[in-house]
């Protein structure tokens, strides 16, 4: 979901453009990008529902959409931290990509939200926490 949401946000933002979402934090992020990230996250939820032969696609579709929003939030949080500490890139391991943290910021945010949701639901998936 993280990669689909990031890719969808990038593509929709580039293709559609439009008003900026948070120009102070991340000048290139648009509302169209947010919608694209949510849409692509939801599409992954549908795909997993179908692949797992779930009786209803709604729960995983909704989860994918919510995680698409969380993805953008993680990206904005990382952008805020870079601005706050006046750092251009969050590392140099992957040149030209803003650092390793730029590649996993959405994944980190989703991991926390998924873990907290699992814990709140008393699911055994969160046993590692």
Q: pTM (2 decimals)?
A: 0.81
φ, ψ (nearest 5 deg) of residue 60:
-75, -30
φ, ψ (nearest 5 deg) of residue 93:
-65, -40
Query: If you average pLDDT over residues 49-55, what whole number do you get?
Result: 91
Q: Which helix (H) or strand (E) holds 20?
A: strand 20-22
What is the per-residue pLDDT across 94-110, written as a single tens digit (0 to 9) for each? 555 555 666 688 888 99
What b-and-e string marks burial along 29-64, b requiring 16 or more CB atoms within 10 Å of the CB? bbbbbbbbbbbbbbbbbeebbeeeeeeebeebbebb
More confident residue, 70 or 118: 70
Query: If you average pLDDT over residues 37-52, what whole number do you get?
Result: 95
């Amino acid at each position: 979901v993280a990669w689909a949401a990031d890719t969808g946000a990038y593509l929709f933002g580039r293709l559609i453009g439009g008003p900026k979402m948070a120009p102070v934090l991340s000048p290139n992020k648009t509302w169209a990008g947010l919608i694209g990230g949510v849409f692509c996250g939801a599409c992954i939820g549908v795909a997993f529902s179908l692949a797992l032969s779930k009786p209803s696609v709604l729960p995983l579709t909704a989860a994918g959409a919510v995680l698409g929003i969380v993805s953008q939030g993680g990206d904005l949080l990382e952008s805020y931290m870079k601005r706050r500490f006046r750092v251009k890139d969050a590392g140099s391991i992957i040149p030209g990509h803003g650092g390793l943290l730029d590649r996993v910021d959405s994944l980190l945010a989703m991991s926390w939200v998924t873990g907290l949701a699992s814990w709140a639901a008393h699911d055994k998936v969160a046993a590692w926490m």
